Structure formats: C-alpha cells, structure tokens
Structure 1
C-alpha cells in the first residue's frame, strides 16, 4: 500500500498552485529545548495552508479525465474551502463552498475572493454537508472531500517529499497535525516508504483526538464531541483511507492541551514573526511535549506549521494562555488576612517573583480571597510557589489547570453575591453568530431565573458562557432534560473551587 501511495505522491500535480515551502530552523526554540527544530512552513502557501495541495491534485485529475460536469462543491468552514476555491479558479471551473452560518466573515470573504460561491447553511458542519449533498444532485456538481480520498492524500503527501528532499541528513521524528488524517497519511506513506527509520508522530488536541482513540481501539471511532480551539482539526472521526495508512505507518499519536497550543503559536511567532492558527501550531506543541517527556537532546525534529488562517480577535485569548502553556505562569487562589499590610506581606514572601495578575474585591471582614498570577522561571517553580505559600500558612489552591478559572473566573473577581437560593453553575459552548447570544439567553431564561452570566467573544466559531441558574432541587431533573435537549456542550461547575471562593 505504501508503495502505491509513494508513486501517486511522486506524480501528484500540485505546483500549479502550491509553492515548495521552506524548511526553516526555529533558532530560539531549538536553543530552549536543546534539539534542532525545523519548521515546514506550509503557512506560507497562497491560501496560508497545505490544503490546496490535495484539493488541486484531486480537482486537476478529475478535470483532466473530463469527469467534472458542472463544477465542484465542498462543505468546509476552513482551509479546505480556500484550497478548493483556488484550484477551481485556476482551472476556470465553477466552485460552490457550503459553510455553516457560524463561519467568521474573514473565511467567507477569502473564499469569495477566489471566485467561488459561498453558501451559508446551518450552525455546524453537519448542516453544511447535508446541504452540499442536495446540491450535488440538483446542480450536477462533483464533491471534493477534505481528507478521506486517495488523491487528496497523495497531494498532501508532497509535503513529506519536500521535507526529505530539503533535509537528506538524519531526522529523528516528523510531527504532523491530525484532523481527518489526509496530511499525516500522505506524509507517513512517503516517509516510511523511503526512510522507515524516521518516526512519524501525529499530534492532536486532547479534546479532539480521533486518531488516538482509533489507534487504541484498532478501529475508527466517533467522538461524542470535540473541542473547538483548534477548529482546523476539530474532527469527530478519522478518515477511512487515512486510518489504513496510519495503522501501518504512524509510529505514535500524542495529544496536547489548549495552553500548549497557545504557547506554540507564540514560539512560531518568536522565530518567524508569522502567526499560525491553533491547528497550524499543533505539531510544534506536540514536538515540545515529546522532547520534554523523553528528555531528548541533540536530535533533529521537524514540525509542520500547517496553517496561518487566524482570526485577529482570537489573539487576546492566545496571549492570555501562552505563558501558562509554556509553564512560565501559574494561577492561584490564595486566602490572606483582611487587614492593612496583608498584601504587602504576601508580596514580600514572594520576593522578586513577578506578579502577572492580581484580582481582589472586599467581601469579608476577616479574610480576603485573591486571584493571583505569578511568573515562573521554569516548570518546577509552580510546585515550589505552592509549597512556599502553604508553608506560610496561606490557604492556597492551584488554578493553573482550571478551565473555568482561566476562561471566566479571572475576569469576574469583584466581590461575592448575597444569598442566592438554589443557584447552580454551568459552563456552555454555543455557535457564534449574529443574535446567537440573545437566542441562548432567552431560551435558557424562559423557565428559570439567571443569577450569573459571563460571556467573552474570543473571535472563534463558538462562544463560551458561564451561567448561574436558580433551580430548586425538585426541578433538577427537569433542568437536566432541558439542557440535553438544548444540544450545546456544557459542564456543571457548582463544585468548582473558584465558585465558593470568588462568586457564590
């Protein structure tokens, strides 16, 4: 099978639209982790992503064989859409891209600038895909899949061919971001056919690890839901063709969290002055974790910087999380005495450590609960700070890994509410579109009183909300049924330590 893909990759027609992207050293990152890090700069492609390779090869092959009829169609809210649009424009073909209505305007505009028709339908990819299927029949269009197709895999595999051509010297491992699997299948097939000693390692978000789950189960599985920070790889099931290749040619799949991806975006920026999207920085985040966990030194490691279609509004979220992801900042809830000089004594205990964030509001005559961020010199510092505060008899909770604290709590510290009977706390994600917040709020508040609400727009396809709802014990089952019918991902947060310390 690998030999078949090797031949297809060598014959793939991609350079009518794609550039042979550079393989650049990441000098600062290399020095910091003690290995030679090379970035495969697919973020420099004309559509700022590798996706045009597979799309063009597939469309060109169909066009050459006279099999396109009325044009091409794709269902995508991301980089595949732009790849299909550019390929069709280059060949003078009609292109229709069906996108969810939640798609940010920057992506819709990019597709239309390439001459494609952007059709907005529904709140999610499934809605767009269903509508695309109806147009295939009614308008005689040919569907171009995003990843689950041998021709798409062959086009993406040219990335692997370029890596080996640009660096014929030893490589310990190549790190590849994984969504549906087209890129890792192409890269793994090519690399393992020619240089089987090189490790090919897939990298996925912890909350969207469809290949990792499939490798454990030895069959494709469907994830119940996926995280949305790295929307370019938010896929619930690995493709059938990519999984066939992965079982034979992928050495390992590792996962990283949101903070590690944010840190990797900053790493790439520091070395290249390019801002990758979360999925684009995914492989770099995995490379760092792999090197750290294995104590690796003096090896050559390649990460594919796969895309730079970042919404500007998301940068503030990335900036908030990058230092935590790099283990250079930790967050704590600390209780100090409510008296003059207490804050000074707290700062004196920390000495020359830099306080990055301090949130406080008077709430009790005896005790003050503070939300504090502290700059770290290295990862073990986090535990040392915690132990230092405990030794000084400060009650302390480490909130560095607490998602509610990082998304909402740090922005809400301002004093406790009075007695609010039967309040229950939930965290939600809902499709981000005009009027979505109003719709969400009106639906939720129609039955029970809303006693707390925090929402911040992060420039993403989905909004994140923290809600307090007053629900008597006798109506909890009714609320649970209602939330399930709402069909938005949600998490119960009433037991989160942030709630009694800062909000209740």
Structure 2
C-alpha cells in the first residue's frame, strides 16, 4: 500500500462535494459538562445529519468520485449500520444500485433506516456476527460480480470526506482548540481529523477513544503494527472492529496525541445521562467522547474542548441492556447465588432482615428441592449506593443465606444471567 496522508486541498474539494447532501452540523456548548469539568466543552453534533451520523460524508464523497462505468456496475459495502445508511442515501440520491452487507446482530432500527434511505436502489443482506464477517462476505460478492467496494474507513476518499468535520470545527470555533476527542472504530474519522488539525491547528491534541472491549487501534499502536484482535465485545457496534485500516493505522499512529479505552458500562451511563439530563439521544459509539472526559478532567481544566458526537442511531429495544450495563459498571446491580433454607418464612426473612431499606430485588430464579436442607436461587439486587454492598453480604453470611457472588465470575455470569 502506497504511503498516504490527506491533503487539505482534497479535503476542501470533499467539502464542496458533500455540501449537496450534508448541511454543516452545529457545534454547541454543553453547559452541564462545562461546569462539571471547569472547561469549555463543545459538542460537534454529527448525530444531527439526515442519516444521523457523520458517515454520509465519506460515503457520498467516495461514491461521487467513481467513474461512469463503476456507477453503472453498482457498489457494495459492509457496515454495522451508520456507513450502510450513508451508502444507501448516496445510492438513492445518485440513482445507482447498491448491495449492503450488515452483521446479523445489527440493531433492527439501523437495518430499517438503511432500507428507508436506499429505497428500491439497495438490497440489504444480513450475515455473520461482526462487521468483519459481513465485510468478508461483501468483498467476496464484490469480486464475483465486478462491483466497487465502498470501504467504511480505509479509503482515501472516505477519509477525506470524514475530514470535513475538522474543517467545520475550525470554521465554527474562533479561538484556540486545545483538545478534540474522537471515537475510533476503523479510524476513518480520527485520520481525517488528524490531517486537518496537523496542517491547520498543529497544537490541538487529537485524542482517540475506543471501547474497552474492542481496542483494535490502541493495540495496534502499542504493537507498532496493525494487529487483528481475536475477539471483541460487539456492544458498541459503531466502534467495534477486529482490525483497523492500514491507511488509518498509519495516520493515527503518527498523529494521535493519545488513544484511550472506555468501559462499555461507563458509556451506557453516559447514554442515560445525555438522554435524561440533556434530551440528547446518542448511540453507544456517539457517547464515547463524552465518557472519556473523566479521564482527562485535570488536563482539560480551563481549556477549549471539542467532543465529536458521532451518531444517534440507537435502538429503543436496547434500553434495558444499556441500563443493566450502566448499573453493573456503577456497582449498583449485583447478582448472587442465595441458599434459601427450605422452611416456611425463609423468603420473608430475607426480604425483611437481609435486604437494606433501599435495596430492591430485580431478578429472582428459584427451584425448591425437598431433598436438600438449602435450595439455591439466583438473585439480582439493585442498590442505591455501592457502599451498601459490603453490609448486605455481611448480613447474608451472618444468617447463612450467602452462596456465591457472581458479578466477578464472567463465565458463570454469562451462563446464569
């Protein structure tokens, strides 16, 4: 692969191209986060595009650059959702055929939106468990049918399209920008921002943010070579890839000031906070750049900080899982194996004497076995404060109810919960 670094003139051309379909997104101050971190926290609202993510930029720029022959033959892409919607919108707008491969686990909302934006111009194929599975199938189909593959991140035209976010930020902020936080999946947006700021605002620190369960860029940078992960947590689907791009790895390795990972549970709490306190709906990947601010609270004091809110394609059916993960991360939800004495009134005693006044049972699975003195139950308990856990366990043990604590036993937890 030839060495590549985006040129500002090509990014400006991309900005002219995407102006046909993408309006400049707002850059707004978050009063709440600015107060909390004693800094000027600005949110670049890429979630407000028609397709509800920045992916329209790269997809439209790339497809617009194709030859007439390529456009006639049609295009193929693989995506966990947002790139798919960008490609679908571009296909419909330009009147070309597209085949879009998506992982089978893609939230229903993203699949339906992709079909909506593409209309009769696109076919959606659900296959595999991860983006990488869908990508392999898409590339195979592409070769067989002689179509053009629209890569979600590792393509110069895609990177240049995403880089237009950086141009807009610099035009919108009339003062020095100290930090820009950007979510990293495959690295297309991060690479584009690196190119813009290295050239036009070299003192700005670009911080990449990855899910803790899919640290493909961080691992690659630490290893000094683009490294494919064997297994990833797919929950933050918009930023969960096993392997980043070769172009993007080369750019990010040289230009990112830092790359940080954030636990999925912390991201879930941010999603809930943004919805409940700011009336902002974001998808998990869109919340990464807000979630990471805790880790930089000392460095960003008094600074001008931009957080790119990358997308809002969230499925309401995931709300229960988002809340569960947030509670587990906050140490407010705990699961136990409880040994209930097989005698009348045991459950009543547990509720009256073992649980604290603000503790709440949220999960209960029990099977009575008359041949044993004690019968096990799997019990989930939600606390008001993490400090309530130790006293609760002590009361369980003192009264012979305690069997096991399974939050910290992942294999058992997955099996039982």
- TM-score between both structures, scaled by the size of structure 1: 0.69
1:209 counterpart = 2:218:
no
Q: What residue number does 1:222 align with?
A: 228
- 1:181-260 pair list within 5 angstroms: 181-260=187-266
Distance 2:104 2:245 in 1: 25
1:372 counterpart = 2:381:
yes
1:211 Cα shift?
0.4
C-alpha distance 96-26 of structure 1, shift in aligned 2 (>3 A): same
Distance 1:393 1:356 in 2: 15
1:149 counterpart = 2:155:
yes
Q: What residue number does 1:448 align with?
A: none
Distance 1:106 1:392 in 2: 45
Q: What residue number does 1:117 align with?
A: 122
Distance 2:78 2:5 in 1: 31
Q: What residue number does 1:442 align with?
A: none
Q: What residue number does 1:306 align with?
A: 310
1:280 counterpart = 2:286:
yes
C-alpha distance 331-28 of structure 1, shift in aligned 2 (>3 A): farther
| Contact 2:5–2:251 under 8 Å retained in 1 | no
- 1:65-464 pair list within 5 angstroms: 68-113=71-116, 114-115=118-119, 116-120=121-125, 122-124=127-129, 125-291=131-297, 294=298, 297-325=301-329, 327=330, 329-331=332-334, 333=336, 343-346=351-354, 354-357=358-361, 371-376=380-385, 382=386, 384-386=387-389, 388=391, 394=397, 403=410, 427=414
| SS of equivalent to 1:169 | coil
C-alpha distance 162-277 of structure 1, shift in aligned 2 (>3 A): same
Distance 1:111 1:257 in 2: 28
| Contact 2:132–2:241 under 8 Å retained in 1 | no
Deviation track 1:128-172 (CA, whole Å, cap 9, x = no partner) reads: 434433443454422111100111111101112222222232333
| SS of equivalent to 1:304 | strand
1:20 Cα shift?
1.0
Deviation track 1:420-440 (CA, whole Å, cap 9, x = no partner) reads: xxxxxxx4xxxxxxxxxxxxx
> 5+ unaligned residues in a row in structure 2: which ranges?
none
1:41 counterpart = 2:50:
no
* Matching residue within 54, 73, 80 for 2:58: 54
Q: What residue number does 1:501 align with?
A: none
Distance 2:248 2:292 in 1: 20
Residue correspondences, number: 396
Distance 2:35 2:256 in 1: 28
- 1:19-30 pair list within 5 angstroms: 19-30=23-34
1:256 Cα shift?
1.3
Distance 2:350 2:149 in 1: 66
| Contact 1:335–1:394 under 8 Å retained in 2 | no
1:296 Cα shift?
5.2
* Matching residue within 6, 9, 34 for 1:7: 9
C-alpha distance 202-392 of structure 1, shift in aligned 2 (>3 A): same
Distance 2:30 2:278 in 1: 8
| Contact 1:336–1:342 under 8 Å retained in 2 | no
Distance 2:233 2:276 in 1: 26
C-alpha distance 356-5 of structure 1, shift in aligned 2 (>3 A): farther
| SS of equivalent to 2:383 | strand
| Contact 1:283–1:303 under 8 Å retained in 2 | yes
- TM-score between both structures, scaled by the size of structure 2: 0.82
Distance 1:404 1:28 in 2: 39
Deviation track 1:382-423 (CA, whole Å, cap 9, x = no partner) reads: 3x4455557779578776666568xx6xxxxxxxxxxxxxxx
C-alpha distance 254-103 of structure 1, shift in aligned 2 (>3 A): closer
